[in-house]
Structures are given as C-alpha cells and as structure tokens.
Structure 1
C-alpha cells in the first residue's frame, strides 16, 4: 500500500466509523416490532393468547354477558425497575337472573366470580366483596362490588421512546370459575354501560402527566389443559391507565446534557491543529462523561432487550467521540511530521478534514434521532 493511499484511508476512517454506526443503529431499530406486547406465546404446541373480545352484538345464545366497571382511588409506589405499582379501588359486576341461576346451580359464591390476574404479593393485598350477598336490582338483575388494594405487575411497559415515553398501568381482572369458561356456559365481561370516573382524585402519578384511562375486554386462552381434555378460554377485563412523561422535563434532564457534551465535542476541531495534546484530551473526557451520563440514566430502568431512544443517541455519540479521537490522532501525527515549510499546508489539510467530520457527525446524529423516533411509531 502506497503512502498516499494510507493517508486517504486515515482521513476516511472517522467518516467510515460514523457511517458504520448509523447503519448498525438503523438496522437494530428496524428489527424492533412496533407492538411489543407479548400477546401470543407457543408452548408445547399449545398457544397462549390474549385476543380482543368480539363485539357484544355478536354474543351467541349459549354465552352469558356480565357487565363490569373499575374505579381506581389512587396509584402509588411505581417501580420501573421491578415493573410494579400499587393501586386501591373498586371493581363491580352486574349480571342477569340467568347467570345467577348458573351460579346457584354450580355453587359459585360472589367472592369467586373474578380474580385479579396481574396482582402480586397476595399476602399483603386485599380483594374482597363489599357485601356478603349480591344486591338485587330491577328487572331481576344482580350487582356485586369488590374492594381491592394490591400491588400489580405492569405487562405494558414500553421504553422504546424513553425518556419521551408513555406509561400504561394495567389492572387486569378475569372470570375465575371453570364453570364460566368455554367448556360450559361461557360468561363474557363487557364494560358497564354506565361506567364513568375511572380514576379518583389521587390518580396522578409523580413525574408523569395523566392522559386518561380506557376499559378493554379480551379472551384469554391458556397454554395448558390443566389435566383436563380442553384448553380453557376465560373472559378478561383490563383497565389501562395511561400516563405520559413531561417532554420539557425529560429534555432538560437527559437530552440537553447530552447535546451540550456533543456540542463541545463537535466544536473541538476548531482548536488549532498544532495543539495536539489539547485536542486529544477533549474526546477522551467526552467519552467518560457520556459513560457516566448513560449509567445515571439506566439507574431507574429495568434491564431491557432493546435500546431506548436515548440509548441510540448515546451509541451514536460514542462513535462520534471515537471517530474524533482517531481524527485528532491523525491530525497530530500529520502536523508533527510535517517540515517547517509544510506546516501551513498540513494545517489547511487538517482543517478541511475537520470540517468534513463535523458536517458528517451532525448529519449522522440527526439521522439517528429521526430514524429511531420514526421507527417506534
């Protein structure tokens, strides 16, 4: 390899590093699914699935309808590390006289009608009927309210856009008796037609903006036959409480420090090429600063199988800082080895490569930000 070819490769090395980083980050984001909810799992040739329940107009004659409502008094003790939160509130059910006859026939007490699916630490939680017997309503209907206070597991966590993410906290209830599954006279849960006021005055969550809540009905198909001959399907009701992080606060806390560090990095080529020691110290210091920033960012997050939006920016920043270090190493060697009458030409060449690197770096950082953000829609 000739000397001129070697110099060309050294000049192109920072640009090649940035292009490689941009391609790898784009490839990693493009492989991520847009919906990360684990709705279907295949185990031992049996599928577990949670699918949206059919419209109430399509309910068959051999199926029962049970209306439900959920009200949450307060939400507290959110832990992103363990993906858990605590909530207190009420669940209520309303059913027909035909469903009541089924319950009497099968010996199903009100306390065994439903269960909290994503409840954890049951030893320190409450889920109990408010009254011992259901209340009789007009037209032969029945009503039962339940009080709950428990810690729940959040299966809706999505940190792809963190720190600009939406947080969904679900409270999941499900028909409990096997006699009300698809094996017998299946009972389906549908939102109560008078349902209102999902959240109480203490529904706010520190650090997040409350955006609303929505009730959804699903059919949960289990992956096991539990020693029987059929694979049970139970109706499931979910209240999803939706919070969103404050964009301005997230920007100031996490993105702004990163932008400041990278601004210093990208302005460092303006330092005279003759000051090699000063130039080499800037990317080294920036790398350490970036590492500490990212570690502090992950202190409150669980281990994730993917990169968040901010992680992608950190990865791109690492590559730019490494490329800048390689560029300054090349520039220092070129200036040091140049003869006295060639130093001006060497400085001009170094400045030209520095300017190209700055332009490519800014374009790469912006491209990574745009591609990462748009790929998570």
Structure 2
C-alpha cells in the first residue's frame, strides 16, 4: 500500500512539473497592437565624451532619423534619461516631412546632450558598461505608435570614433516597452505601456590598463617583498629581511590609494580591492615567516640553516603561485 501511495505522489508531482513547463510564461509587457503605426528608427553616433562615473553621466552627439507611414508624426520624442535639458541641442533635419520614393515619410534630428547612466564598478578595472539613450514618445501609447530599429542601416557610429581610456565595442538599437508604475493621476486611462527605442553603446576598459598600469607595479612590490625569503636566514640578516616586506606593505597602500582616488564613492569592494587584499595576505605571510624563523633561530642554536632556507624558498614559490591563482579566480569567476 505504501509503495503505491509513494508512486502516485511522484506521478502527481511529475505531471504538475510538466504542466508548468508547458504553460507559456506570463510577461509583464503587453504585445503591441497590430493597428499601431510602425516607425523605423535609425541612429548614427558622431561623438562620445566625458564619461563621468562620479556623476553617473556621459555626453553624446548623434543623429536620429525616422521612417514611417501614417498620420502621427513620431519626431516629437522624449529622451527619458537625459539630464540638463538646458544644455541640450536638438536640430531637425528639415522643418517639414520628406516623402521618400517608397512612400515612407522621413525626418530626423541631430541631438547632443548629457545622459544619465548608473555606472556599476564591481569589476573595476575590468569593468564593462552599456551606455544607453532611452527614446520614447510620451504622447502616444503602445497601441498607437511603435518604434522599431531600422535594420537597413546597421552602421551605427562614425568609424573614426575614439574614446580615450575606453574600448568602444559597437552600437545597436533595441526596441523595448516601457510600462510606468503609475497612472499619473488619470484613473480613466490607468497604466499604459509606451514604445521605447534604446540606443546602446557598450564600452570597456582596455586590458592593458589592468595589466600594465595597475598589476605590474603591484607585482614588482610583491616580488621584492617575497624576495626577503630568498635572503639567507641568518640571525644577522633579520633586520634586512623584515625591512623588505614592511616597505612593500607601505608601497602597496600608496598604490591602492592612487587608483581609489579615481573611483566614485561606492559602498562595496571593487575587483582591484580584492586583488590588493590578496597581496596584503601574501606580504603578511612573508612577515610572519620571517618573525617565526628569527624566533626559532634564537631558541635553537644548532638549526640546519640550509634546510630552513630550502623551506623558505618553497614557501616563496607557493606564495607567488597562490597569488597568481587567486587573481585568476577573481578575474574569471
């Protein structure tokens, strides 16, 4: 009787899981109405500058154009994440709509301004950000107007565009739906979704910045500190041995402060902070080994110094490999 009950329970649970997997997931974003006017949007980025993680903002200069068929003029747009509207510059291509040979209406804007972007710095200095410019029409909801990427023009930025200190990985347009969590006091309409087109520009810091400007000085400091274990463990060399890791510790503190001043005030540890914690642990282990070996030599006059030296050489190799392995785990995990 008991096996039958267990079997029936297992079959019920299995059937319930199959039903849940077969049911389509409910989405919070409604599909656009088929009768909505479709507008094809293209963009071309001319300049990108003043990336400011402290102020969570960046400046962009770009062209934006629209192709559509219908009575609604889609050029009356709102930049959702633009700040400092007083410093913005929006110039239309033409004062009137141009009708193309294929029957589409055409017009556009050249836009320049400052835009908000929340910079997350956990992966600094290997951080990657997707700068976004969110464009929508606040007058017509999703059932009246839909923005779609213009796939006929895939080159989204100037080929010579460069951003000092960053690698620009491309540029793309993505159609999204923006649902405000309020009815703005209009209880007759309720909450309405709006079509949203997002210009996305992924950027990343060069790997050479991490390796040459941040890691190379730290590795030199660590090697000089670990080098104290290579010095022959004699009672007369204790002061010379202990001075190397102590000096390395002070240098590491100043090196960490030099890059921390360039970061915004964040309440969490960035990747480079974790690298320095690992470096502090290595230097601390060197200091402890020198102190322990000095005390051991003081208490034991007949110690085999060559055997102790061999142990410290192995320890130095272990610390170097451990630091490298720890950094690989921090970077790739």
Q: Same fold (TM over 0.5)?
A: yes
Name 2:57's counterpart in structure 1.
84
Greater relative contact order: 1 or 2 (C-alpha under 8 angstroms, separation 6 or more)? 1
**C-alpha RMSD of matched pairs (Å):** 2.7
CA shift for structure 1 position 69: 0.9
1:292 aligns with 2:265: no
Could you tell me how far apart the structure 1 residues matched to 2:246 and 2:219 are? 17
- Find runs of 4+ consecutive structure 1 residues off by over 6 angstroms: 51-54
Question: Structure 2 length as normaliser, TM-score?
Answer: 0.80
* 2:219 corresponds to 1:256: no
Q: TM-score, normalised by structure 1?
A: 0.72
Q: Does 1:307 align with 2:307?
A: no
The 3 A distance-change label for structure 1 pair 278 and 186 is: farther
* Aligned residues of 1:170 and 1:241 also touching (Cα < 8 A): yes
Paired residues of 1:52 and 1:217 also in contact (CA < 8 A): no
Q: State the match for 1:235 in structure 2.
A: 195
Q: What stretches of structure 1 of length at least 5 have no aligned partner? A: 1-50, 104-108
Deviation at 1:305, TM superposition (A): 4.6
Decide which of 42, 57, 62 is 1:69's aligned counterpart: 42
C-alpha distance in structure 2 between counterparts of 1:52 and 1:211, whole Å: 31
1:271 partnered with 2:231: yes
The residue number in structure 2 matching 1:217 is 175
Match for 1:331 among 275, 286, 293? 293
User: Equivalents in 2 of 1:351, 1:186: separation in Å?
Assistant: 80
Instruction: Identify which range, 268-277 or 348-357, moves more after superposition.
Output: 348-357
Can you list the C-alpha shifts for 1:224-267, whole angstroms capped at 9, x where unaligned? 33223423322222222233433334411111111111111222
Shift of 1:194: 2.2
Higher percent of residues as helix: 1
What residue ranges of structure 2 are gaps of 5+ in the alignment? 1-26
Residue from 272, 287, 309 that aligns with 1:351: 309
Partners of 2:244 and 2:192 in 1: CA distance: 63
**Hey, what does 1:368 align to over in structure 2?**
326
Deviation readout 1:209-237 (Å, 9 max, x if unpaired): 33321221211222333223423322222
CA–CA separation in structure 2 for the residues paired with 1:139 and 1:211:
33
Distance of 2:216 and 2:97 partners within structure 1 = 57
Maintained 8 Å contact 1:78/1:85: yes
